């Protein structure tokens, strides 16, 4: 019988963070079975260790309730915590991701090389329409872009925390736009300080309304901040996510001069009792 572990990532409280499923031995599962497990859990992602390439390496795949995704940061943190302290190497569909877990259970992943591209004007207009935002809501100091560090995420910054808190998007329209463009989540943020941001991540293509914590988007956002010179070259950035959902998450993003990847750190804690959650306890289920 397949053993499914459940962790809350980017939190020390099982009631916070982003829940993730972890299957440490998925070598006997096919794609349909992994997708069925992910859909049954209802979490935004479940990680499956499907093999051991050798040494400290693990072949890891990630499934949302609707489809496989190339990389997932919070499920990486959860899987690394389940493996325990030490150095691990994850071979993902997006590339090699090293992860270090310290004795306190904090995991630090180093992303694949990030890159940032322009968000075409037509795509920006369509994205704003689906979010029910206007161009006047955007912070001109943080221009819209598309950032990548294993998955693609448009990045939009708003001028007020209140605007960020009032997220109410057109689910079918945003899902269709994201599917067409190959975007995994949308990184929405408000700059609260020189190296502090409040962030939210709609994820309708994965079958959930919103992620309470998104490590892949955090890595991409770190690449965005570095590429645009918006923080110091050796910055440590704090991302607050999940507060608006009642699942507070804290993500640390670190830029290391001379290192192409972005480091993303956070705690992960096992969810006591390991109950089967169902949709009501998923990241945030899309309303029926």
Q: Do domains 5-110+268-272 and 115-266 have the same CATH topology?
A: yes
Alpha-carbon dihedral sign for residues 72, 73, 75, 79: positive
Helix or strand or coil: residue 254? strand
* Helix or strand run (H / E) with residue 131: helix 121-131
- Cβ neighbours around 153 below 10 Å, total: 27
Give the domain ranges of the chain. Answer: 5-110+268-272, 115-266
Predicted local distance difference test score (pLDDT) of residue 288: 47
- Alpha-carbon span 268 to 96, nearest angstrom: 21
Q: What is the CATH number assigned to the segment(s) 115-266? A: 3.10.310.10
Q: Considering 45, 87, 210, 232, which one is annotated as catalytic?
A: 45
Q: Compute the average pLDDT of residues 223-243.
A: 98
Q: Compute the average pLDDT of residues 251-267.
A: 98
Stated pTM of the model: 0.93
Predicted local distance difference test score (pLDDT) of residue 54: 84
Predicted local distance difference test score (pLDDT) of residue 283: 58
Q: How far apart are the first and last CA of the chain?
A: 31
Residues linked to residue 6 through DSSP beta bridges, in sequence order: 21
Top-level class of domain 5-110+268-272: alpha beta
Reported as a single tens digit per residue, the pLDDT across 117-169 is 999 999 999 999 999 999 999 999 999 999 999 999 999 999 999 999 999 99
Contact assessment for residue 64 and residue 38, using Cβ atoms and an 8 Å cutoff: yes
Torsion of Cα atoms, 215 then 62 then 260 then 58, to 10°? 120
* Region of residue 222 (left: phi > 0; alpha: psi -120 to 50; beta: else): alpha
- Alpha-carbon span 71 to 220, nearest angstrom: 11
Note if 180 is an active site residue: no
Confidence of residue 286 (pLDDT cuts 50, 70, 90): low
Minimal CA–CA distance to 71: which of 107, 114, 7?
114
| Residues 6+ positions from 162 with CB-CB distance below 8 Å | none
Helix or strand or coil: residue 117? strand
In the predicted model, what is the mean pLDDT of the chain? 94
pLDDT at 76 over 70: yes
């Amino acid at each position: 019988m397949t053993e499914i572990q459940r962790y809350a990532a980017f939190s020390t409280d099982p009631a916070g963070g982003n829940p993730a499923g972890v299957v440490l031995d998925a070598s006997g599962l096919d794609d349909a079975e992994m997708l069925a497990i992910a859909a049954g859990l209802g979490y935004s992602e479940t990680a499956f260790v499907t093999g051991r390439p050798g040494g400290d390496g693990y072949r890891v795949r990630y499934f949302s309730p609707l489809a496989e995704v190339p990389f997932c940061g919070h499920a990486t943190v959860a899987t690394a915590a389940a493996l325990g302290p030490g150095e691990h190497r994850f071979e993902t569909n997006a590339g090699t991701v090293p992860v270090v877990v310290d004795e306190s259970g904090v995991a630090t992943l180093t992303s694949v090389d990030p890159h940032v591209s322009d968000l075409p004007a037509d795509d920006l207009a369509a994205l704003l329409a689906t979010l029910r935002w206007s161009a006047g809501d955007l912070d001109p100091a943080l221009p819209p872009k598309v950032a990548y560090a294993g998955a693609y995420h448009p990045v939009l910054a708003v001028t007020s925390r209140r605007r960020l808190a009032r997220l109410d998007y057109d689910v079918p329209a945003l899902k269709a736009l994201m599917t067409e463009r190959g975007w995994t989540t949308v990184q929405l943020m408000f700059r609260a300080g020189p190296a502090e941001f409040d962030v939210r991540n709609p994820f309708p293509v994965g079958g959930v309304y919103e992620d309470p914590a998104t490590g892949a988007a955090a890595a991409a956002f770190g690449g965005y901040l570095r590429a645009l010179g918006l923080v110091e070259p050796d910055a440590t950035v704090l991302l607050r996510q999940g507060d608006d959902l009642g699942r507070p998450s804290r993500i640390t993003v670190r830029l290391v001069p001379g290192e192409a990847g972005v480091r993303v750190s956070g705690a992960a804690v096992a969810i006591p009792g390991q109950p089967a959650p169902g949709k009501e306890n998923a990241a945030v289920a899309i309303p029926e």
